[in-house]
Amino acid sequence: MTTSKQSTTSADTRPAPVISVIGTGYLGATHAAAMAEMGFETIGVDVDPAKLAALSAGQVPFYEPGLPELITKHVATGRLRFTASIAEAVAAADVHFVCVGTPQKAGSHAANLAYVESATRGVAENLTHPGLIVGKSTVPVGTAARLRRIVAESTPAGIDAELVWNPEFLREGKAVEDTLHPDRLVWGGASEAADAVIREVYAAPISEGTPVITTDLATAELVKVSANAFLATKISFINAISEMCAITGADVSTLSDALGHDDRIGRKFLNAGLGFGGGCLPKDIRALMHRANELGAGRVVGLMQQVDEINMGQRQRVIDMAIESAGGSVLNRRVAVVGAAFKPMTDDVRDSPALNVAAALHLRGAQVTLWDPEAMETARRSFPTLTYAGSMVEAIEGADLVLVLTEWDEIVEADPVALAAVVGQRVVIDARNCLPADAWVRAGWTVRSLGRPAPVAGAAPSVAAGATDTLATAR
């Protein structure tokens, strides 16, 4: 495959490919900035003029550490620009990354592929010279083969085009690092010529020793959803075990530590608690379930259904724990919720267990006051009827019950003595098993967790340092 209209030159004097990135949401904006950082002239494409103007000014419409600085840097260097014209971008570029969303369809577990199909067709129709279309969106297996037919039907006569699949493995909060220094690179369906182009695009991480796995289209599509399904299964497994721990008096955190020393298992994603959320794991396992059902892979359907049900059940466990801690009803009780994002280091509240629990308690009549270091505005847009505080102290002031629902460092490292001085009742539900429970108990708090031994109430009359009540197995 050949390329043209390229911008910079490499050591062997061949001009480097120009990159277009279709879609400038979470994945696309990060990928475009990283391509510019790797030295490529890059053009981001989106249909939203307001988003394009913000990105051109270095303003990212979501929280991702390091991304605004990277975008600002390369808008200034001239290697990164944004446009609403897919025709302009495609005419200027040689490699076209499709990075649009595949949200869950309304009323179905299936993925909505309309954006991927539209973006791919848009690239193909506007090709003016040979182009490589690289899909990065998370899609059900079989999608890329269908997209190849769309490319074949839509590409102008006499223009060579090829579509391959290159899944992303980004972690929110670490997306820039994961793009620049990935733990593996996977692509499928590439011809020898296309393989050479992709290796040129990813030359920097490959030179660092990043493993490269080349495969067929179907395997490349399945790698991403299988990775997310496995991580979701691991979380739901430990949450299922946490129920047994709660019944028997065992400590799920100690159990997880012991399991984690087995290098076949590992400690990551074995933190029992409120469960997973966000824009990837929930919709990806449901899309996998739907596609597996279409293909007749019943075992996958059954497994993913159990994973999803266990995860959603964790939210109800926390709601029930809150009601019990409030004496059987949260009606008119002041409940402080600290944490709204589905995990720390992001402002993403899509399918957030924390926000779901907060809203459920509000619907049961609680006076819910919420605080999160970064997700206040996104939470407010989703649930404007909740009360939002300007600080953790403000949220907790006068509360009858405190719920820790996202494990931000600011929350984990908060001073329980200072908080005890302003709260109404010193009762905290640690739904992420993240607090230093012994310190909180010494400060006079009753600490309740998921899958850990029954808490020992702190000394209510005093929050002075030196109080001796502790949890027997505190972290």
Tell which residue, 382, 380, 378, 402, has the closest CA to residue 392. 402
The pLDDT value recorded for residue 460 is: 43
Residue 39: the pLDDT is 96
Cα distance between residue 316 and residue 431, in whole Å: 11
Burial 265-282 (b: 16+ CB within 10 A, else e): eeeebbbbbbbbbbbbbb
Question: Which neighbouring-strand residues pair with 165?
Answer: 135, 188
- Quote the pLDDT of residue 453: 85
User: What tens-digit pLDDT sequence spans the chain (475 residues)?
Assistant: 433 333 444 445 668 999 999 999 999 999 999 999 999 999 999 999 999 999 999 899 899 999 999 999 999 999 999 999 999 999 999 999 999 999 999 899 999 999 999 999 999 999 999 999 999 999 999 999 999 999 999 999 999 999 999 999 999 999 999 999 999 999 999 999 999 999 999 999 999 999 999 999 999 999 999 999 999 999 999 999 999 999 999 999 999 999 999 999 999 999 999 999 999 999 999 999 999 999 999 999 999 999 999 999 999 999 999 999 999 999 999 999 999 999 999 999 999 999 999 999 999 999 999 999 999 999 999 999 999 999 999 999 999 999 999 999 999 999 999 999 999 999 999 999 999 999 999 999 999 999 988 655 544 433 332 322 222 223 2
What Rg, from alpha-carbon coordinates, does the chain have?
25
Beta bridge partners of 44: 21, 82
User: What is the reported pLDDT for 471?
Assistant: 28
- Contacts of 32 by beta carbon, 8 Å cutoff, 6+ apart: 19, 21, 24, 42, 43, 44, 71, 80, 82
Q: Residue 454: what pLDDT?
A: 62
Residues 6+ apart with CB under 8 A from 327: none
User: What is the enclosing helix (H) or strand (E) of 163?
Assistant: strand 161-165
Total Cβ atoms within 10 A of residue 372? 29
Which H/E stretch holds residue 171? none
How is the beta sheet containing 42-45 ordered, strand by strand?
Answer: 80-83, 42-45, 19-22, 95-98, 131-135, 161-165, 185-188, 212-215
Sole residue written with tokens 């907790």 = 396
Residues with catalytic roles: 280
Q: Residues 434, 437, 438, 440: is their CA dihedral positive or negative?
A: positive
**Cross-strand partners of 448:** 429
Q: Tell me the CA end-to-end span of the chain in Å, nearest whole number.
A: 57
Picking from 124, 191, 193, the residue whose alpha carbon sits closest to that of residue 159 is: 124
d(CA 412, CA 434): 6
The two structure tokens encoding residue 37 = 């950082």
pTM for the predicted model, two decimal places: 0.89
Position 3 scores a pLDDT of 39
